Amino acid sequence: MAATGVGSRARDIFTALEYGPVPESHACALAWLDTHNRLLGHYVGGEWLKPEHRNAVSCRDPITGENLANCLQAQGEDVAAAVEAARTAFKAWSQLPGATRARYLTQLAKVILMHQRLLWTLESLVTGRAVREVRDGDVPLAQQLLQYHAVQAHAQEKALAGWEPRGVIGLILSPPFSFLDMMWRVCPALAMGCTVVALVPPASPTPLLLAQLAGELSPVPGILNVMCGPALLGPALASEPGVQKVAFCGAVEGGLRLLIQESVWDETVQRIQARMGRLRSGRGLDGAVDMGARGATAQDLAQHYVHEAQSQGGQVFQAGDVPSDSPFFSPTLVFGLPPAAPCAQAEVPWPVVMASPFRTAKEALALANGMPRGGSASVWSERLGQALELGYGLRVGTVWINAHGLRDPVVPTGGCKESGSSWHGGQDGLYEYLQPSGTPARLPFLCESLNYDTFGLVVPSTVPSGPETGPSPAPPYGLFIGGRFQPPGGRSSRPIQDSSGNLHYVAEGGVKDIRGAVEAAHQAAPGWGMQSPRARASLLWALAAALQRRDTALASRLERHGSEPKAAKAEVEVSVRRLQMWGTQLQDQGHTLQVAGLRGPVLRLREPLGVLAVVCPDEWPLLAFVSLLAPALAHGNAVVLVPSGTCPLLALEICQDVATLFPAGLVNVVTGDQDHLTRCLALHQDIQALWYFGSAQGSQFVEWASAGNLKPVWVNRGFPRAWDEEAEGAGSELSLHAARTKALWLPMGD
Amino acid sequence: KGITTAAVCVYPARVCDAVKALKAAGCSIPVAAVATGFPAGQTHLKTRLEEIRLAVEDGATEIDVVINRTLVLTGQWEALYDEIRQFRKACGEAHLKTILATGELGPLTNVYKASLIAMMAGSDFIKTSTGKETVNATFPVAIVMLRAIRDFFWKTGNKVGFKPAGGIRTAKDSLAWLSLIKEELGDEWLTPELFRIGASSLLSDIERQIYHHVTGRYAAYHDLPMS
């Protein structure tokens, strides 16, 4: 064989040792788009729909700007049609045995395996992300998700007896997102028997591909319906009567915030800069690049942030082998920003890293917890004890120790504060799509005409209705805040009449009192949260014993408010037992999850929420109050309660015992107009969760108002609850709502 | 000029023959010798030093020594430093490669410390393993050693080379190693002066890849000379 000029080329290669380009051909993606004539419709009810007179948005390659395909945009009637298809599908899909759904999910995993090249090519082409990320990260994880949830579906009848699928789930995704974000939500929904209508951003072919693959395989048409549409269609989807739950995935920040201890600042920054210098940007489909580009919008965001940071006093370092033309943006390190600068608090866009120094772990914790977001964090330290202190102290949903970004279907992912309170993955993710069996179907608007501005704003004035009557001693007058009875800020009272016509006056609580109560609760919360389960148990037992000593007085008050003597006595007994039960139940301190491919445990911790506000129902004035107070305390929370409107005196009686037994501020009781106090609580941004058991309108207001700080809410939508039954009054549902989860990853290695 | 290996590595007793054979073939590739009780290093210090001197006398211009793993496992870092200094002196002008035998050193923190000590004591190269241990060159160990090399360079300005040995059989493997060096240390380290791969059957596979690049066909093993 003559080896002519080729020999010199081999020698050049051996001398230069450059990376050769490894372009992934996107021919298969284009071929798939061609099968639709480059015009993608909606995938609804198991088939492709291309309704007439719809706008089409162009899906462009983020790097070259080339038009890849046009996507039809949905309108209101398309959404309604999709929800209808999903509802029909739900009837059949939810009735299938879990094993059948499990088989479907496993087959879908296999289909993804067979068509993975098309999937990763299309995703990388359309989003501009490096193909390595999609091929080696997203696609295998998607398969794992399907397989994990297949197992959960299989075990559903036994493991989740007493829970049923919610119904049709509306899924709203905003750009930028990856198809994996959709899979995290679709897999548990389908596994548990729900059906899905997904509204994806205007130019997203990949979810449509997934819908097609899923739909072709499905025994029931319409379990997964996907449409592209503008963001303002979201409310239309949310208010469709058939939709039982809406899952919203907001924009995911791509940048990172780094907190570096001062003693290692110089070395760390040097290493980061050296590493940044080696990053290669290029077309996402080139297998040899580290970073792609995410389009003009992402570039503008990054540009804007960097300029702002500079104007606020930050220094900027950029490096890497990046093509100079748009829309590529160099990996950027921003540092030197004072902590009060707006950029130091704002979300950091991709591909920027914002670094700040700190001196002690305590300072780091304060800096990290001082952000409004609470998603995930990683802690890097060679000292396990110190790393764990930070891991437990960080108010986020996921902590990795000496690792970052690890994900697995068995580990729940979620957050707190402004990152929202919903979960995907793990057991927690399943409960998002389940409700206790027999829960009535949910309507989007219980009251079309509810005026959010005026609900509960004004308290009707009350005038004196006569002197207090009835057997003494009555509980002390006042609101129970900070461990003692105090007069209300508004200095007025309201009359309470029992069925015998006896009259009592209780304090009229207002917004200042709520504020005081929440502050008192925040004083008590950290100490209580750190108590061991045994310490909490003993206090709950002590309260149970105190109630026992008062049992005749409590029973007679219940009788005076209309209970039969036997029923009153039973209510007191059950209340005492419930307190004892919650004390004895070993609070779920979390358990260890085994993750495939990781050596080392992942802990699923259950942590107190912080301050929990409860609006008690009017009925069962003693039992409901105790049934709500006990699990809240047992899980380590401090509580602010609004007792039954018709009979608040029982709660005040109990406060006398609370005053002697519990730390001040742990339990606070505010009496008054239920709607007004509900308004104050729902609008308060420093309450970590709100439980509301009042009217349908109140429930609607609570859900609307709590969006202010995204606190988790639990409302009864106006339906009464059978507090005397174990399932509803003392079941696992209460435990689920009374604490929040944190995943703590502890990979091994020395 | 053609593409060649960087050196030919032989046992101390074969150095003379190797030098003679290469001279007869008109080849200027250096001869490297393993020394200090290769592969286990469990002989007296006196004989180990003598081995080095004899190999250098016979014409070896590169010496691969094995560190005393007892000293690492018992944390006698100063003693380890002193020993390697003695090897350095015995080598004289010859190029010194220090084999850490990482598979036997225990945790990665020990690998890092041993690497730094070897470099401080004057090694020109640090080498992962003899190729005879149960666990030879793996990527985790390599990353630790490469980072040690980088840290040493940042602190002193001296560049020390890296050589993985054992278990690298195909050209594809060697590409992974080349990428690792390129990513961790940069293009400056991608020369024979600073990066070597210790392997025997690897040579045939590389030749076959070059054959394919040049002719477009895959060669059979018998199409190429035995290595």
Residue B123 vs residue A728, higher pLDDT: B123
Give the closest-approach CA distance of B210 to chain A in angstroms. Answer: 7
Chain A residue closest in CA terms to B191? A15
Cβ separation A278–B109 shorter than 8 A: no
CA–CA separation, B54 and B60 (whole Å) = 9
Chain B residue closest in CA terms to A2? B215
Contact list, B141 vs chain A (CB under 8 Å): none
Task: Extract the tokens encoding A527.
Answer: 């100490």
Q: Which residues of B touch A (CB under 8 A)?
A: 1-3, 107-109, 154, 178-179, 182-183, 186-187, 190, 210, 213-215, 217
Note every long-range contact of A395-398, with CB atoms under 8 Å and residues 24 or more positions apart, other chains counting.
A395/A369, A396/A368, A396/A742, A397/A423, A397/A740, A397/A741, A397/A742, A397/A743, A398/A742, A398/A743, A398/A744, A398/A745
Q: Does A22 touch chain B (CB under 8 A)?
A: no
CB pairs below 8 Å between A and B: how many?
A: 29
Among A6, A17, A750, whose Cβ lies nearest the Cβ of B107?
A: A750
Give the closest-approach CA distance of B32 to chain A in angstroms. Answer: 23
SS3 B36: coil
Q: Does A748 touch chain B (CB under 8 A)?
A: no
Contact list, A750 vs chain B (CB under 8 Å): 107-109
Q: Are B132 and B102 in contact (CB under 8 A)?
A: no
Catalytic residue at B163? yes
Contact list, A7 vs chain B (CB under 8 Å): 214
Which of A27, A201, A24, A256 minimizes the C-alpha distance to A130? Answer: A24
Q: Are A138 and A179 in contact (CB under 8 A)?
A: yes
Read off the amino acid at residue A59: C
Chain A residue closest in CA terms to B106? A750
Chain A residue closest in CA terms to B5? A14
Give the closest-approach CA distance of A190 to chain B in angstroms. Answer: 40
Cβ separation B182–A749 shorter than 8 A: no
pLDDT score, position A417 = 87
CA–CA separation, A568 and A57 (whole Å) = 65
pLDDT score, position A539 = 94
Among B179, B190, B214, whose Cβ lies nearest the Cβ of A10?
A: B214
Among B2, B154, B187, whose Cβ lies nearest the Cβ of A17?
A: B187
Q: Tens of pLDDT along A668-720? A: 999 999 999 999 999 999 999 999 999 989 999 999 999 888 999 999 988 88
Chain A residue closest in CA terms to B192? A15
DSSP type of residue A707: G
pLDDT score, position A381 = 93
Q: Is the pLDDT of residue B199 over 60?
A: yes
Cβ separation B186–A14 shorter than 8 A: no
Among B1, B108, B215, whose Cβ lies nearest the Cβ of A750?
A: B108
Among A6, A270, A278, whose Cβ lies nearest the Cβ of B213?
A: A6
Give the closest-approach CA distance of B44 to chain A in angstroms. Answer: 32
Chain B residue closest in CA terms to A5? B214
Which of A509, A688, A526, A715 minimizes the C-alpha distance to A612? Answer: A688
- Phi, then psi, of A183 in degrees rounded to 5: -60, -40
- Phi, then psi, of A367 in degrees rounded to 5: -60, -45
Is this complex's ipTM strictly greater than 0.95?
no
Cβ separation B178–A10 shorter than 8 A: no
Cβ separation A10–B210 shorter than 8 A: yes
DSSP type of residue A167: -
Catalytic residue at B127? yes
Q: Tens of pLDDT along B136-194? A: 889 999 999 999 999 999 999 999 999 999 889 899 999 999 999 999 999 999 999 99
* H/E segment holding residue A344: helix A342-345
Among A10, A17, A278, whose Cβ lies nearest the Cβ of B213?
A: A10
Contact list, B182 vs chain A (CB under 8 Å): 17, 19
pTM as predicted: 0.90
Residue segments in chain A with a per-residue pLDDT below the cut of 70:
1-8, 325-326, 444-446, 472, 586-590
pLDDT score, position A379 = 96
Q: Does A6 touch chain B (CB under 8 A)?
A: yes
Contact list, B213 vs chain A (CB under 8 Å): 6, 10
Instruction: Choose the catalytic residue: B113, B127, B159, B182.
Output: B127
Residue whose token pair is 């035998």: B101
Quote the mean pLDDT of chain B: 92
Q: Are A196 and A190 in contact (CB under 8 A)?
A: yes
Burial class (CB in 10 A: 0-12, 13-18, 19+), A630: buried
Distances from the Cα of B27 to the Cα of A644, B20, B198, angstroms = 98, 10, 20
A245 pairs with which residues across the strands? A169
Among A11, A17, A278, whose Cβ lies nearest the Cβ of B3?
A: A11
pLDDT score, position A262 = 94
Cβ separation A749–B108 shorter than 8 A: yes
pLDDT score, position A2 = 43
A72 pairs with which residues across the strands? A56
Cβ separation B214–A7 shorter than 8 A: yes
Instruction: Choose the catalytic residue: B89, B113, B163, B182.
Output: B163
Q: Does A8 touch chain B (CB under 8 A)?
A: no
Task: Extract the tokens encoding A424.
Answer: 């995907």
Read off the amino acid at residue A253: E
Read off the amino acid at residue A708: G
pLDDT score, position A4 = 46
